Amino acid sequence: MRNVAKDLSIIIPARAEMFLAKTIENILENIEGNTEIIAVLDGQWADPPLPVDERVTVLFYPKSIGQRAACNRAVSVSDAKYVMKIDAHCSFDKGFDAMMMKDMQPDWTFVPLMKNLHAFDWVCPDGHSRYQGPSGPCEECGKPTERDILWHAKKSPNSTSYRVNSALEFKYFGEYKKKQTGDLVETMSLQGSCFMVTREKYHELNLCDETWGSWGGQGAEVAIKTWLSGGRVMCNKKTWYAHLFRTQGGDFSFPYSNPGREQKKAKNQLRDTFLNNKWDKQIYPLSWLLDKFAPVPDWSDEDLARAAEAGAKFLGTKKVESWGVLYYTDNDLDPEIMEKCQKQIKKTIGSHRIVSVSLKPLDFGDNICLSEKHGYLTIFRQILAGLKELDTDYVFFAEHDCIYHNSHFRFAPKEKDVFYYNTNVVKIRMSDGFGVKVDDCKQLSGLCAHREFLVEYYEKLVEMVENNPDINIRKIGFEPGTHNRIEEFNNYKAEGWKSEYPNIDLRHDKNATASRWTKEEFRNQKFTKGWEARENFNVPGWGSFGHLWKRI
């Protein structure tokens, strides 16, 4: 019974799949999270029968509806946060589901490392064995053979990098694999036999568009839609799945009728949509993706020129705003805190530009070093210098002792004359992991706004403080648009918004502002609305702080 919401639904579209029962059995043996399986029997009952288990839901369609439609029907039944589509002939690593969910980000399409599956051998009565392939008599003695199910992942290859050629067909990308470092790595495309997304993103991007045909080109469709809409396609090298490829001819060929015609329809739609930048949800042209992973084999100079021309036309008709990160520090911080916070920013924002402004030389982004002493005016000057160096449409502020979640950088300011604050933040005391969260926490570390608007504000602020050295900075306020206690700053507006998961504000012995850990310490109790405070705070999207700090 499906009466409790799951964290992950594993979706298996299946038509006359001889290994579906074995695949489900393997999944049930290896899942460790709050995970379910939704199998779709597309036009034919399962043979052999499927395992009976409360974690397995079966949808049966007497008349075949196609692979894409089967995926969509399964996702429509799910109420899980994540969905993972897999082929009906795969095996999995122990705890693969928990490991994938642990590192998953809201705008990712995520896939484990892929191995090849040694599913079976053909064995004759005399014990002669032949590696999986077409059925037939024993090649040594001529006696009949039977399938001996093994279901082992082969040691190699371990695939983590895929691409498309100029016809947008799937290819392995060995050249890029050599550049991949770390456990979580980017890949240009997907093989298609396994991918994981949030259920919300699956629907938002229409990842299995049924108008494209019953099957074909799914890996490229999903990957390109993810990248061009502003997401990332990532491979998790910490866990794996193994896939059985259809290389056996009649014994294990694709089970849908007219496979060539259906595949051609899907590939034609794929090429027309993305080579001509016709997808209504894309914010980048295909040429952007080619540049990101360049050089991409099988793309001639002529192919790249056509893609660039189509990309220029797309950008000419659709304004794509750019964003960057302004990082500022006084360098007076525990080196471990600074290093880990920087590492998380770089991991999160990808190729977007970082300008760092420091009081000592710093190897982080494009660095500006000011010869200034600590102080409020110095902070304002640092911010202004960084804003002028950046050349992006809008800017995210980043402080040296904050851990930023991926979802924080998926916001875009709606108005050019408003300061926007991400109020989804948890304050963590470094000494013991005690955490505090309130509903409306507007602070400089969560600020995002249009760059020109920010430059205008900080030019005015710096000039005022320079001309009035005795001015009380707190009357102006550190967060633009939130105080309005001085006439020159009364007309600025500020709004709050919340990222899907919170940022973490690290509190330590060198914070510029004091920390308050009880409601009684607040003079105005309106700032304690939604108060949550506890030891070993389990931060949504991150887990317990202790484990998070070890992971970074």
pLDDT in tens, 388-397: 999 999 999 9
Q: Which helix (H) or strand (E) holds 100?
A: helix 96-103
Domain annotation for the chain: domains and CATH numbers = 8-120+153-246 (3.90.550.10), 323-551 (3.90.550)
For the chain, the straight-line distance linking the first and the last C-alpha, in angstroms and rounded, comes to 38
Q: How confident is the model at residue 319 (pLDDT cuts 50, 70, 90)?
A: low
Report how far residue 205's alpha carbon sits from residue 189's, in angstroms, rounded to the nearest whole number: 16
pLDDT-wise least confident of 95-104, 266-275, 476-485 = 476-485
Distance, CA of 86 to CA of 464 (rounded, Å) = 61
pLDDT at 9 over 70: yes
> Average pLDDT for residues 369-378, to the nearest whole number?
89
Burial class (CB in 10 A: 0-12, 13-18, 19+), 302: exposed
Provide the pLDDT for residue 255: 67
Choice between 346 and 474, residue whose per-residue pLDDT is larger: 346
Question: Exposed, middle or buried by CB within 10 Å (0-12, 13-18, 19+), for 419?
Answer: buried
CA gap 63, 81 in Å, rounded: 30
Top pLDDT among 510 and 325 is at 325
Q: Are strands 543-544 and 538-539 parallel, antiparallel or unpaired?
A: antiparallel
Confidence of residue 522 (pLDDT cuts 50, 70, 90): confident
More confident residue, 406 or 506: 506
Count CB-CB contacts under 10 A for residue 180. 16
Q: What pLDDT, on the 0 to 100 scale, is given for residue 258?
A: 54
Average predicted confidence (pLDDT) for the chain: 89
Rounded alpha-carbon distances, angstroms, from residue 546 to 91, 335, 399, 434: 33, 18, 21, 10
Q: How confident is the model at residue 337 (pLDDT cuts 50, 70, 90)?
A: very high
What is the predicted pLDDT for the residue at 257? 61
Beta bridge partner(s), residue 449: 395
Asked whether the predicted pLDDT for residue 458 surpasses 50, the reply is yes
pLDDT over 90 at 73, yes or no: yes
The residue with greater pLDDT, 322 or 370, is: 370
More confident site: 348 or 162: 162
Q: Which residue has the tokens 């992006």?
A: 392
**Which has the closest alpha carbon to 304: 463, 431, 165?**
165
**Bridge pairing between strands 394-399 and 8-14:** unpaired
Copy the structure tokens of residue 10. 């594993």
Contacts of 156 (CB under 8 A, 6+ apart): 115, 116
Top-confidence residue, 90 or 281 = 90
Q: Let me know: does 242 contact 155? Beta carbons within 8 Å.
A: no
pLDDT at 85 over 60: yes
Average pLDDT for residues 191-212, to the nearest whole number?
92
d(CA 159, CA 114): 5
Which of 18, 267, 26 has its CA nearest to residue 153?
Answer: 26
User: Whose structure tokens read 């990957």?
Assistant: 223
DSSP assignments along 396-453, one per residue: EEEETTEEPPGGGGG---S-TTEEEEE--EEEEETTT--EEE-S----GGGEEEEHHH
pLDDT score of 107? 87
pLDDT of residue 321: 76
Q: What is the pLDDT of residue 276?
A: 94
With a pLDDT cut of 90, the percent of the chain lying above it is 61
CA–CA dist 223, 535 (Å, integer): 40
Amino acid 259: pLDDT? 57
User: Is the separation of the CB atoms in 71 and 11 below 8 Å?
Assistant: yes
Lowest mean pLDDT among 41-50, 70-79, 275-284, 345-354: 345-354
Instruction: Read off the tokens for 33.
Output: 């999270």
Contact 424, 499 (CB under 8 A): yes
Among 13-17, 202-206, 254-258, 311-315, name the one with the lowest average pLDDT.
254-258
492 vs 72, more confident: 72
For residues 266 and 259, is the Cβ–Cβ distance under 8 A?
A: no
pLDDT, position 499: 87
Confidence of residue 264 (pLDDT cuts 50, 70, 90): confident
Distance (Å, whole) CA 14 – CA 475: 66
460 SS3 class? helix
Exposure b/e, 29-56, CB count within 10 A at least 16 = b: ebbebbbbbbbbbbbeebeeebeeeebb
Distance from C-alpha of 283 to C-alpha of 225, rounded to nearest angstrom: 10
Note the pLDDT of residue 355: 97
Other Cβ atoms closer than 10 A to 192: 21
Confidence tier at 256 by pLDDT (50, 70, 90):
low
Residue 1 — pLDDT band, cuts 50, 70, 90?
very low
Q: Mean pLDDT over residues 498-512, rounded? A: 86
Write down the pLDDT at residue 111.
98
What is the Cα–Cα distance from 51 to 506, expressed in whole angstroms? Answer: 48
DSSP, collapsed to helix, strand or coil, labels residue 531 as coil
For the question of whether the overall pTM of this predicted structure is more than 0.75, the answer is no
User: How many angstroms separate the CA atoms of 212 and 395, rounded?
Assistant: 38
The whole-number average pLDDT for the span 272-297 is 91
Lowest mean pLDDT among 209-223, 325-339, 374-388: 209-223
R_g over Cα of the chain: 27
Interatomic CA distance for residues 134 and 247, integer angstroms = 8
Q: Which residue has the tokens 């950088």?
A: 409
Strand (E) or helix (H) holding 324: strand 323-328
**CA-to-CA distance for 360 and 354, rounded, in angstroms?**
17
